[in-house]
Structure 1
Amino acid sequence: MTEQTTTPTTRTPNRRARLRAQTSDEIKEIALRLMAEGGPDAISLRAIAREMGMTAGAIYSYFRTRDDLVTTLIGDVYTALVEAASAARDAVPESDPGGRIMAWAQAMREWAIAEPAGFRLIYGDPVPGYQEPVDGPGQAAELRACTALTDLVAAAWPTAAPLQQDGRSYSWDDFDPGLVAHVREDFPDLPPEAIALTLRVWGRMHGLVALEIYGHLRPLIHDPATVHRDEMRALVASLGLTA
């Protein structure tokens, strides 16, 4: 009796699915470019359809409303940022929490410089009239980013905690209940002061990047990367770590 073997087959998208995916990607690329050129008001399905030579009805088969398009964009952009920063962080050993913080921060800046319209979409200019749906992809990606930053602080907390003793005392009531529930589930040993520190770390990572993206730093210094790097080294040192 011979043993029969089966060879698994790999399904590839058919031509129609591939074309649809390519068109969807082109719509999103044009939307981000329109936003970069004309601000958040410039995101319009009709304007995108005209540029692509499509009818309004055709583009609505991809995104029913402008808000559907914006929701997808936010999810894609946030996910790309988190993946880039996570990859850089994971290239540094867990035994080097200061180095992992530096890697995340530098990767975040490099991504933002390469994708300024995406940075503005998720951290800067609100799209007028846009209401993000509950549990939308942007919220999931933002929570993933918050969890990753909390994880960085959790790794640094044994060293950083004594340096925070002169600061304000926090309680769980100071924070959003959804955030508290998530943090206490994933990091049961962290006190509320560590969450406040996470927000401060986030602010220091993003502050100089936002100034650079919005054109405030380059007129003042030839290489803004040096200032950001020095600030991140100071941040790491303030946690009692080395980079």
Structure 2
Amino acid sequence: MKEVVPSRRERLRAETSREIKAIALKLMAESGPDGISLRAIAREMGMTAGAIYGYFATRDDLISTLISDVYTDLVDQMEAARDSKREDDAGGRLLAWGEAFREWAVANPQGFRLIYGDPVNGYQPPEGGAAPEAERRACLGLAGLVAVTWPDAEPTQSNVNHRWSDFDPSLVAMFRESFPGLPPAAVALALRVWGRMHGPVALEIYGHFAAQTEHPAKLYRAELLDLLAALRVPVPEKRG
């Protein structure tokens, strides 16, 4: 099959679109999420407001595209880190997923804030969300890692009587379709694992660890290792 080469016009349009998104994240870093404005971006790029609307019809369109791009990039990196470990290495795969999450967040703090932190005033996401596919992949990826640990972790999770009705119906449907036979307590465990990964990273990204430690990566790894112990998952051997 003959390779389709983008035309010069298509390449220029893609390049301009990338520049618009980069400036939007820069404005967010400088002024918070409310700093994202098509007119402000147009001024910085030396474009007219009318010209920039040819790329993104509204600010909400731009924000939705940013969220989708950023979230997809995060999930790509977490999946790649997970898949770099053997399938029978449950601890190594879970550790790799968690560490990739933190590494991405530290390298992309504005992106982290956009998808996990600061709400954008007046923003209305499209029906189904701004990044439904990336969100689905992230959810199923982590749930799959937890599902593998369930046979060993189950005895430690029996002190709370969870029901399917405790959780969002769409989450339940996705979980039951992908991991049939697992109980509601497994969903609760997946959410708790996510909370233990997300919490320290959020504290670091928002500067709450800055005065307390110069080594947040050590704290985070210790939290992940403690998590593996709680799940009764063997800790992978450190190589090299």
Distance between the aligned counterparts of 1:69 and 1:212, measured in 2?
Answer: 27
Structure 1 equivalent of residue 86 of structure 2: 93
1:105 is matched with which residue: 98, 105, 108?
A: 98
1:1-243 matches, cutoff 5 A = 8-166=1-159, 168-243=160-235
The structure 1 segments of at least 4 consecutive aligned residues displaced by more than 4 Å after TM superposition are none
The one-letter code matched in structure 2 to 1:82 is V
Residue in structure 2 matched with residue 4 of structure 1 by the alignment:
none
Aligned to 1:241, the other structure's residue is in SS state: coil
Partners of 1:187 and 1:32 in 2: how far apart? 37
State the SS of the aligned residue for 1:21. Answer: helix
Q: What amino acid is aligned across from residue 17 of structure 1 in structure 2?
A: E
Percent identity of the aligned residues? Answer: 62
- Structure 1 counterpart of 2:66, which letter? L
CA distance in 1, matches of 2:108, 2:234: 29
SS in 2 for 1:179: helix
Measure the CA separation in 2 of the matches of 1:189 and 1:16: 52
**What count of residue pairs does the alignment treat as equivalent?**
235
8 Å CA contact 1:163, 1:240 repeated in 2: no
Where does residue 3 of structure 1 map in the other structure?
none
Pairwise CA distance, 1:137: 4.2
User: TM-score of the superposition, structure 2-length normalised?
Assistant: 0.96
SS of alignment partner, residue 120 of structure 2: coil
TM-score, normalising length: structure 1: 0.95
Measure, in 1, the Cα distance between the counterparts of 2:125 and 2:140.
20
Kindly name which structure, 1 or 2, has the bigger radius of gyration based on alpha carbons.
1
Note the aligned Cα RMSD (angstroms).
Answer: 0.9
Q: Provide the rounded CA distance (Å) in 1 between the counterparts of 2:111 and 2:45.
A: 21
8 Å CA contact 1:85–1:104 kept in 2: the answer is: yes
Residue-by-residue CA offset, 1:175-202 (whole Å, 9 max, x unaligned)? 1111111111111121110001010000
Task: Look up the SS of the partner of 2:131 in the other structure.
Answer: helix
